[in-house]
Structure 1
């Protein structure tokens, strides 16, 4: 895990002799000072704000200071999400490292994605008892993915970023806080800008690599909207030597399976996001570092705050509560991904000749700390241990053999029924151990069904209202 949970960039390098007027981003034009405000690297050459401020020649200085003023006047939450969106869109517009540029999705690509998702849902009907969860099938460009997922990134990141804002207000003695109010307000505004910069950059990079709306095992898009990104699907399959239609269909199976789970397990979303928030509450801020920054903060040198943030100001507390929150989140994410892996494999293994190869490719992509995991770890300070995914997949497959599809999927009726982190250490033991009383499980399911049955089914309900 990175020592900087929010992934703040490394300090800008000093320009070499003779390089002061060069644009390292390769976009041409007069660049002026390489990094006048001291922000970290990103879109727009060495400085993501360069793209926002322009080439920094004299004609652009007015606009640059106007932008700086807007940053300092920000009074919203812990993250400047307007800035995050702008930088994410700029990062997407620049294209990926291989030179691939974003483009609008054409009618033929949209039709191919919709057909793949339709067929995927048909195949999944025989692999899970959960009905289709996708009311809409869409093909997104990278920019559309950014727009659609930012509201969920806000839910994920704000609880952790809030820790910084709270810490900034508490580092000074109470009698000094009134005097230092304007300074602390400026630092909060700058902090919001720093978070917005880094999150926008990370989301923009991730938009160039994800293939759908559920790559990190969380519902990033709107409920019931299954989505694929044709440009990224093609990039993933380019070097695999597998027919592009099979690649698209396999990824459609994964997207559609995620949608079934998130739509028809109503408590799952709040369970996952509650686990993220619970973990965030255990993040502490190194107040000694923050006190140094507050005491020495120079409004003309905002890079001081940037440097403090990137030096590991955030650390998870080593407490039983924090460890439990981390285990809860890791286990929940692993169970989601393991279930999807097992269900998709069952649906694809007799229909796609490349099913095994695609399954292993995606497993390795996750296990090697692929882009989704890395970005999640960067923004939340959390790493999902790859071995949990294979353990969870094996557990769900074993449950299918022992209980059938209906018995396996019935465990999603309530969070207390799900396997624990200890069970993932011994999947076969969870399935076969004698103390797992399935008659008690059936009783719990019956009680849950009675509680969830609409009141109109109660013959006495209508009489009570007369």
Structure 2
């Protein structure tokens, strides 16, 4: 169904080269990012009051990578997550060897092109679905060339910016290592989304009759829907609402933590935040269209809405009251509660 080798080759070929750095400069960046990640651990855990247990499963390594390595890591995760969908499609629609080979290469090229585009945008990422050789759960990826590119574009202090990025990403690492059920819960939601996926001709027809009109709105700038949203059925939308709630919580919480810790350890944090928020708004018309189609606009809303949720809940019930969100999956907010923090407080705290 998907030729992952073609995806890897396409993404690597299409990804843009990073900033021009000498070998010595690259070594310095890698070393500083590793040090910044280590420095972030204590302040993040103290501010959030989240502490990972001393187990192998909670030991998520920190890796400083370039764009090709990020591509390789993400395609590996995509393959694991998409295996159930591929298995369902191939079981229901057996094809000839030639058709299968051609189709899988086309699909691989499409995925490779998408990942190549994203490879130049991601600064850091916690991959909760990677399992290490000793059973480690998850890994943190810091994409060095992208971090250098953005710090230069924003014209901010590189040392401060690197630590600032690490504060955000370290928060994600703590969220998954200190909350042992989070990884399986998120994987369960993805499996539910897979089970709700339409694989029949009616789904395609529905897109042709309804989705094309929405796609035109996206291109005109009158809709914030992504390509994925155009294909969603009602069952999928219900699961996506829950996934959106979780992701908004995780991203918003990371932003709140980095802003809470930042003033104590990063002298230029106010300048960095102001310029970075301007960057999040996107560039020109074509850039905005691509961001909508790829779901990046929705991602930006997750940061914003999630941070508002975290701050308002903390104001109402304090840090210990907010941290009830990590006690069990039933305490996680859905999309509606992210936008209505008082509703979450009433449900969880009465």
TM class, shorter-length: 0.7 to 0.9
Establish whether residue 95 from structure 1 lines up as the match of residue 17 from structure 2: yes
Query: Residue by residue, what CA displacement relative to the aligned partner does 1:35-78 show, whole Å, maximum 9, x if unpaired?
Result: xxxxxxxxxxxxxxxxxxxxxxxxxxxxxxxxxxxxxxxxxxx2
* Alpha-carbon distance in 2 for matches of 1:101, 1:402: 48
Query: Residue by residue, what CA displacement relative to the aligned partner does 1:413-458 show, whole Å, maximum 9, x if unpaired?
Result: 2110122322222224534x4x6536xxxxxxxxxxxxxxxxxxxx
Q: Tell me the equivalent position of 1:44.
A: none
Q: Tell me the equivalent position of 1:219.
A: 128
Query: Which of residues 127, 136, 148 in structure 1 aligns to 2:61?
Result: 136
Query: Which of residues 228, 231, 238 in structure 2 aligns to 1:316?
Result: 231
* Alpha-carbon distance in 2 for matches of 1:138, 1:376: 30
Establish whether residue 345 from structure 1 lines up as the match of residue 259 from structure 2: yes
Q: Tell me the equivalent position of 1:120.
A: 40
Q: Secondary structure at the match of 1:127?
A: helix
Q: Tell me the equivalent position of 2:5.
A: 82
Q: Does the Cα contact within 8 Å between 1:286 and 1:313 map onto a contact in 2?
A: no
Q: Does the Cα contact within 8 Å between 1:391 and 1:427 map onto a contact in 2?
A: no
Q: Tell me the equivalent position of 2:102.
A: 190
Deviation at 1:362, TM superposition (A): 4.7
Paired residues in the alignment total 316
Q: Tell me the equivalent position of 2:301.
A: 387
* Alpha-carbon distance in 2 for matches of 1:409, 1:286: 42
Deviation at 1:193, TM superposition (A): 1.1
Q: Secondary structure at the match of 2:156?
A: coil
* Alpha-carbon distance in 1 for matches of 2:193, 2:22: 35
Establish whether residue 111 from structure 1 lines up as the match of residue 31 from structure 2: yes
Q: Secondary structure at the match of 2:168?
A: helix
* Alpha-carbon distance in 2 for matches of 1:203, 1:337: 21
Q: Does the Cα contact within 8 Å between 1:335 and 1:392 map onto a contact in 2?
A: yes
Q: Tell me the equivalent position of 1:399.
A: 313
Q: Does the Cα contact within 8 Å between 1:213 and 1:220 map onto a contact in 2?
A: no
Deviation at 1:152, TM superposition (A): 1.1
Deviation at 1:409, TM superposition (A): 2.3
Q: Residues 120 and 384 (structure 1 numbering): CA distance in 2 closer, same or farther, change over 3 Å?
A: same
Q: TM-score, normalised by structure 1?
A: 0.58
Q: Does the Cα contact within 8 Å between 1:213 and 1:227 map onto a contact in 2?
A: yes
Q: Does the Cα contact within 8 Å between 1:316 and 1:322 map onto a contact in 2?
A: no
* Alpha-carbon distance in 1 for matches of 2:281, 2:190: 21
Query: Which of residues 140, 153, 173 in structure 2 aligns to 1:259?
Result: 173
Q: Residues 254 and 134 (structure 1 numbering): CA distance in 2 closer, same or farther, change over 3 Å?
A: farther
Deviation at 1:190, TM superposition (A): 1.9
Q: Tell me the equivalent position of 2:221.
A: none
* Alpha-carbon distance in 2 for matches of 1:313, 1:240: 31
Q: Tell me the equivalent position of 1:26.
A: none
Q: Tell me the equivalent position of 2:196.
A: 282
Q: Secondary structure at the match of 1:324?
A: helix
* Alpha-carbon distance in 1 for matches of 2:87, 2:34: 39
Q: Does the Cα contact within 8 Å between 2:65 and 2:144 map onto a contact in 1?
A: yes
* Alpha-carbon distance in 1 for matches of 2:228, 2:49: 46
Q: Does the Cα contact within 8 Å between 1:140 and 1:228 map onto a contact in 2?
A: yes
Q: Could you say which structure has the higher helix fraction?
A: 2
Query: Residue by residue, what CA displacement relative to the aligned partner does 1:349-400 show, whole Å, maximum 9, x if unpaired?
Result: 34324334434555555564999x968965xx89736434322212212333
Q: Does the Cα contact within 8 Å between 1:211 and 1:230 map onto a contact in 2?
A: yes
Q: Secondary structure at the match of 1:110?
A: helix
Deviation at 1:160, TM superposition (A): 4.6
Q: TM-score, normalised by structure 2?
A: 0.75
Establish whether residue 203 from structure 1 lines up as the match of residue 115 from structure 2: yes
Deviation at 1:238, TM superposition (A): 0.9
Query: Which of residues 235, 238, 241 in structure 1 aligns to 2:155?
Result: 241
Give 5+ residue unaligned stretches, structure 2.
53-57, 132-136, 206-226
Q: Does the Cα contact within 8 Å between 2:337 and 2:343 map onto a contact in 1?
A: yes
Q: Tell me the equivalent position of 2:211.
A: none
Larger gyration radius, structure 1 or structure 2: 1
Deviation at 1:196, TM superposition (A): 1.0
* Alpha-carbon distance in 1 for matches of 2:70, 2:179: 24
Q: Residues 317 and 408 (structure 1 numbering): CA distance in 2 closer, same or farther, change over 3 Å?
A: closer
Q: Does the Cα contact within 8 Å between 1:262 and 1:268 map onto a contact in 2?
A: yes
Q: Secondary structure at the match of 1:228?
A: strand
* Alpha-carbon distance in 1 for matches of 2:76, 2:25: 22
* Alpha-carbon distance in 2 for matches of 1:105, 1:144: 19
* Alpha-carbon distance in 2 for matches of 1:278, 1:253: 31
Give 5+ residue unaligned stretches, structure 1.
1-77, 170-180, 292-311, 439-466
Q: Residues 324 and 88 (structure 1 numbering): CA distance in 2 closer, same or farther, change over 3 Å?
A: same
Q: Tell me the equivalent position of 2:183.
A: 269
